[in-house]
């Protein structure tokens, strides 16, 4: 059985390569009007008096104050606050059909709920979700929002229900949470979240950083470089927990989007998982299939950060291995705007690639996963036009 939609909501012109960006970051703070207006007065007063706790607002020294590309600073010296600037710099520039807004800012600011009142942390998640729906999606119809939820605090399912059943329900196309927390993700304490995602037929996305008290499995890093390089380690614990705990046998329609978590590890890691299963299958006899089959059916991945082999001529082999292993329809373009390591559609999916690969990665795969149409006559010029 496959859970991939076979037809996008609309098909772009064959002369254009439709583009959907699946990782695009609004970055307001709790005191910005777009967030604060959705926060109960009690918590606005608390933040004004006591702040966000000793861990609130970040997890390590950053590459820049906002980890931003230099031209993303608006006229007020801020980054990721003005949706119109974001539209001008990226959405219009590359004639995108849709953008999926991801706001890990919610769990970064709250530090997963550590060292602040839990009720305030939960309210902050709701306020950020409303900011995306009203301020960002209200600014441009191509924006679609993710529902950020607190992985290890009460109320995650209720927040999904509030967002999907509220006046902006059609604006929310994904649930988003940290890839690390108090327990491995396959544990049954998280299963109500999976049930809600299935019920509303929306993907469950995971985006860096890893939160909780042990984001690496051994404590916090001292350097931003260390944290950034280790992002791809997070799914190596997440994937086997999903598979071996039997999550996909209980939730056969669950769709997982691994965002900014790399993708070149997927094929060799699937070999390792299958080898483990072949030797120890008696212990996990509840599984109906090999681990690699669950990976191919239930997981999608984003391009950024772009995988860059030391020898550029090896790049094609990396993509070929991924595609020949059965993941050709599982890789989606992401820019990571407004961060310093932003990738344009031309950087992530270069013109040297075969056109059918470019079409899949730039827009078609995301269109099928999120149910977002590729707008007619929009996108990048096709090489066949020239």
DSSP secondary structure string, 361-383? Answer: IIIIHHHHHHTPPPPTT-SEEPG
Coil/strand/helix, residue 188: helix
d(CA 267, CA 206): 19
Residue 172 domain-assigned (yes or no)? yes
Per-residue pLDDT at 14: 65
Q: How many other C-beta atoms are found inside a 10 Å radius of the C-beta of residue 168? A: 16
Per-residue pLDDT at 1: 35
Per-residue pLDDT at 305: 81
Q: What distances in angstroms separate CA 36 from CA 47, 77, 301, one per listed residue? A: 10, 19, 32
CATH classification of the domain holding 366: 3.20.20.140
d(CA 26, CA 374): 22
- Whether 343 and 331 have beta carbons less than 8 Å apart is answered as no
Residue 9 domain-assigned (yes or no)? no
Q: How many other C-beta atoms are found inside a 10 Å radius of the C-beta of residue 30? A: 23
Residue 254 domain-assigned (yes or no)? yes
Domain count, the chain: 1
Residue 69 domain-assigned (yes or no)? yes
DSSP assigned state of 167: T
Per-residue pLDDT at 72: 86
Per-residue pLDDT at 168: 97
Q: What distances in angstroms separate CA 186 from CA 40, 149, 179, 239, 253, one per listed residue? A: 33, 16, 11, 9, 15
Residue 230 domain-assigned (yes or no)? yes
For the chain, helix (H) and strand (E) counts, in that order, are 16, 10
Residue 138 domain-assigned (yes or no)? yes
| Sequential DSSP letters for 254-311 | --EEEESS-STTHHHHHHHHHHHHHHHTTTTTT-SS-HHHHHHHHEEEE-PSPP--SS
Residue 3 domain-assigned (yes or no)? no
Residue-level pLDDT, tens digit, the chain, 386 residues: 334 444 454 555 568 999 999 999 999 999 999 999 999 999 999 999 998 876 544 455 566 666 777 788 888 888 899 999 999 999 999 999 999 999 988 888 887 777 789 999 999 999 999 999 999 999 999 999 999 999 999 999 999 999 999 999 999 999 999 988 889 999 999 999 999 999 999 999 999 877 665 566 667 777 777 777 777 788 899 999 999 999 999 999 999 999 999 999 999 999 999 999 999 999 999 999 999 999 999 999 999 887 788 888 898 999 999 999 999 999 999 999 998 888 999 988 999 999 999 999 999 999 999 999 999 999 999 876 54
Per-residue pLDDT at 213: 57
Residue 152 domain-assigned (yes or no)? yes
Coil/strand/helix, residue 164: helix
Residues spanned by the domain of 72: 17-381
Per-residue pLDDT at 11: 55
């Amino acid at each position: 059985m496959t859970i991939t939609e076979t037809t996008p909501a609309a098909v772009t012109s064959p002369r254009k390569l439709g583009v959907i960006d699946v990782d695009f970051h609004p970055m307001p703070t709790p005191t910005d009007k777009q967030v604060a207006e959705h926060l109960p007065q009690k918590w606005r007063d608390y933040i004004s008096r006591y702040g966000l706790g000793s861990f609130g607002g970040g997890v390590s020294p950053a590459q820049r104050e906002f980890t931003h590309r230099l031209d993303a600073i608006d006229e007020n010296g801020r980054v990721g606050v003005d949706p119109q600037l974001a539209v001008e710099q990226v959405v219009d520039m590359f004639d995108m059909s849709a953008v999926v807004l991801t706001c890990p800012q919610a769990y970064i600011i709250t530090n997963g709920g550590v060292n602040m009142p839990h009720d305030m942390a939960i309210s902050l998640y709701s306020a950020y979700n409303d900011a995306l729906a009203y301020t960002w999606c209200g600014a441009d119809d191509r924006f679609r929002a993710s529902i950020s939820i607190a992985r290890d605090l009460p109320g995650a399912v209720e927040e999904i229900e509030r967002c999907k059943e509220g006046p902006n329900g059609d604006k929310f196309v994904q649930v988003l949470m940290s890839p690390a927390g108090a327990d491995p993700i396959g544990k049954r304490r998280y299963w109500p979240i999976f049930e809600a995602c299935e019920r509303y037929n929306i993907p469950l996305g995971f985006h860096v950083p890893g939160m909780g008290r042990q984001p690496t499995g051994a404590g916090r890093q001292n350097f931003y470089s260390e944290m950034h390089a280790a992002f791809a380690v997070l799914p190596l614990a997440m994937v086997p927990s999903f598979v071996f705990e039997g999550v996909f046998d209980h939730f056969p329609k669950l769709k997982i989007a691994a965002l900014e978590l790399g993708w070149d590890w997927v094929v060799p890691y699937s070999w390792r998982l299958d080898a483990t299963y072949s030797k120890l299958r008696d212990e996990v006899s509840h599984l109906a299939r090999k681990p690699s089959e669950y990976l191919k059916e239930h997981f999608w991945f984003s391009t950024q950060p772009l995988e860059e082999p030391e020898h550029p001529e090896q790049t094609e082999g990396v993509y070929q291995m991924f595609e020949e292993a059965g993941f050709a329809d599982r890789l989606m373009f992401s820019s990571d705007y407004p961060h310093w390591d932003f990738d344009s559609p031309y950087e992530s999916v270069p013109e040297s690639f075969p056109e059918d690969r470019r079409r899949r990665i730039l827009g078609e795969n995301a269109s099928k996963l999120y149910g977002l149409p590729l707008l007619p006559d929009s996108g990048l010029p096709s090489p066949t036009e020239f």
